Amino acid sequence: MSEVRFDDRVVIVTGAGNGLGKSHALAFAKRGAKVVVNDLGGSAHGEGASTTAAQTVVNEIKAMGGEAVANYDSVTDGDKIVQCALDNFGKIDVVVNNAGILRDVSFHKMTDADWDLVYNVHVKGAYKVTHAAWPHMRDKQYGRVIFTASAAGIYGNFGQANYSMAKLALHGFSQTLALEGKKYNITSNTIAPIAGSRLTATIMPPQILEQLKPEFVSPLVLKLASEGHTETSGLYEVGAGWIGKLRWNRTLGHGFPISAELTPEQINEKWSVITDFSKSSHPGSGQEALMQIMQNLQNK
């Protein structure tokens, strides 16, 4: 099998000063990519700023003979991050939206700041960086975009209403970019990783964190970002050496006649059928999902 390489490719990794982002940046550089190592240098809760984290990763890349430049802008200033790539390397091929923070608190105690800061970093930040890179990818008819979701976004997690909101939003964002980018040879995929990092250090015991190495996640990111990978709109859970792909699963449901009034009592009567997953379908698009519903217009 041919080696996955990124020679002459320019890659932006946001939040690359620590954890997963650092692992991604190093992995890309080892395989020939020119890397923009972006990190504001703030805390895991979105406070403060420093140039140390990003510059340390750049120094490490250069020490092993790679090419990289540090960028210290907030992801909400995504145009500056993309301009950094253009100024230093002349183009942009891959965007890995990895930057993130936590503001964990139960919903009834959550403040507007808790909600807005998480939204701004995860969702608005990913939008700003990707939106700035998008026209350059379209013009070259090549691009690879990776979004970082979470199990919290897929399944929910107590105390993380803001984080869960943001993480599932990114997958919806990615699915639409996959549709719009397809004819321009731009793919967009989402990972939901589990790995030891500043963000998981507060919710997992140290002995588990030590084994959940970010290096178990980065190879999938490189696979999805490679030129040979043309699948798009996927969602992948990854961690501890395990990788799986997720898809929507829908019961076959029940169609009621549209020629008569539909009542809650009728729905109660058929509830066991409506919620029965022993037989199910897997709509792959909005059109596929709508088709089965529209067919019920003939049920009179």
CATH number of the domain bearing residue 148: 3.40.50.720
φ, ψ of residue 194 to 5 degrees: the values are -125, 120
d(CA 295, CA 177): 28
**Looking at the structure, do residues 219 and 288 belong to the same domain, yes or no?**
no
Same domain, 137 and 282: no
Q: Of the given ranges (38-47, 56-65, 226-235, 289-298), which has the lowest mean pLDDT?
A: 38-47
246, 261, 284 — which closes off a domain?
A: 246
- 193 found inside a domain: yes
Annotated catalytic residues are: 163
Confidence (pLDDT) at 212 = 83
Q: Which of 181, 190, 95 is nearest to 145 (CA)?
A: 95
By DSSP bridging, strand 235-239 and strand 242-246 are: antiparallel
Q: Are residues 178 and 62 in the same domain?
A: yes
Q: Nearest Cα to 72, choosing from 110, 102, 38, 47? A: 38
Closest CA to 21 of 60, 54, 61: 54
Closest CA to 245 of 171, 138, 135: 171
Q: Say if 63 falls within a structural domain.
A: yes
Q: What is the mean pLDDT of residues 103-110?
A: 97
Instruction: Count Cβ atoms within 10 A of the Cβ of residue 279 and give its class: 0-12 exposed, 13-18 middle, 19 or more buried.
Output: exposed
Radius of gyration of the chain (CA): 21
Residue 3 forms part of a structural domain = no
Q: Identify whether the C-beta of residue 24 lies closer than 8 Å to the C-beta of residue 218.
A: yes
State the total domains in the chain.
Answer: 2
* Claim: this prediction has a pTM higher than 0.85: yes
- Residue 280 and residue 177 share a domain: no
Indicate whether 2 belongs to any domain: no
pLDDT digits (tens, 9 = 90+) for 15-28: 999 999 999 999 99
Task: Tell me how far apart the alpha carbons of residues 93 and 226 are, in angstroms, rounded to a whole number.
Answer: 10
Q: Please state the rounded mean pLDDT for residues 75-91.
A: 98
Does the CA dihedral 259-260-264-266 come out positive or negative?
Answer: negative
Per-residue DSSP letters for 252-292? ---PPPTTS---HHHHHHTHHHHT-TTSEE---SHHHHHHH
Q: Give the residue ranges of DSSP H helices in the chain.
A: 19-30, 52-63, 78-89, 112-119, 125-140, 151-155, 161-181, 206-209, 218-225, 264-269, 271-274, 286-295
Range(s) of the domain holding residue 261 = 250-298
Residues 159-199: pLDDT tens digits?
999 999 999 999 999 999 999 999 999 999 999 998 765 55
Q: Is 288 part of any domain?
A: yes
